[in-house]
Structure 1
């Protein structure tokens, strides 16, 4: 890691790669360790476009956040928020309206520790350590900053493909939907099983070989990702390749059509 290690929780084994830190490496962030960089480089040799896919996901975050602000939302809940890096959700929405409030949630202690460090002087942000499935605890904690009777922008970016079917992701999402106020939005990105990206299966095998039984990716088809929006009104243009969700310029696209569709992206509104 290129920064100071003093804030890293002592129980963290920095020799084991972590999805959030590998993602941070692909975004050229500073909050990753040698093991994360080694795995990230190994996957880049198999799929050089994966760094572009990470960038496209970050660009979608920006567009989705601005869309929600333009739709009147002023409070946000980011589940699986990961390591803070350039273009964080709070930076985007508070630039649009300084009154916006953001709650970040992650189960990774390093992500939480550094988020707390980054946000210690921002009274409009809160960081929680919790698992996606801890819905009641998350809403109880978020309620300390957010008015949950009002619409919330809920983000789950590059998260749900780490949720195995045995966890009943549809049931988990239904619990979030039921707790959200009408007018709330859900933003999702998810690795596509049917994007036609070459060597995706090989890259996943390498990833899984370094992760053990935890954090194993589960790519899903378009129809499976669309099903996560059950009970929401899907916003146009629907669930599409990440780069195709309302791109604003060439920087929101890749030269590789398969990479443009590698993460699916979509936004739904709770009626």
Structure 2
């Protein structure tokens, strides 16, 4: 059977085959026969995890559910990844990836499309939301706004993206309006401005701000881009740089 040690008695040394040895054995030749248990055991080295920085595009919300669930369940670690989720702080995720601050980021299909002609080294690696879920949002009590054409001359609360004003202008014109309105960049305060009546309309993501408005008992009405000639597209995507 397996040999687990050596017997010492009155200076006589017994070898693993039971023979009496008159000279002390070569311990190195037997050491690999001794099972290591308890404190003597040597733990197998753990696989070193690869650090990956992941940039959010907004405060944590339903569009990020899969990211946080996978992290909580340990699925990234199973694939050798130690994920560091970077909170949104007003920065542009695409830019943070190209600068090497983040390895991956939550972004938007149209944002990446606008970056491509300038040679920005970005690529879409996954489509989180695979259809258009953007819309023009106004509070439900605005009886003076029945369709996009009624937004002419009003104030848009925006986020500074280069595609926002042109897209809404096209939607308003498709409804028969002139597409002329004022805009102000409020970023994370944009929705509150509309809820409070300080601005007239905003672009929500129905998969999050639409849900959030319901949770806060804030009645809203929406004019979907796709109802006014805008083609369907991936909305929320994950981007990476050329190194991945």
Structure having the larger proportion of residues in strand: 2
TM over 0.5: no
Which is greater in Rg? 2
TM-score bin, normalised by smaller chain: under 0.3
TM-score by length of 1: 0.24
Kindly indicate whether structure 1 or structure 2 has the higher relative contact order, using CA contacts under 8 Å at least 6 residues apart.
2
TM-score by length of 2: 0.25
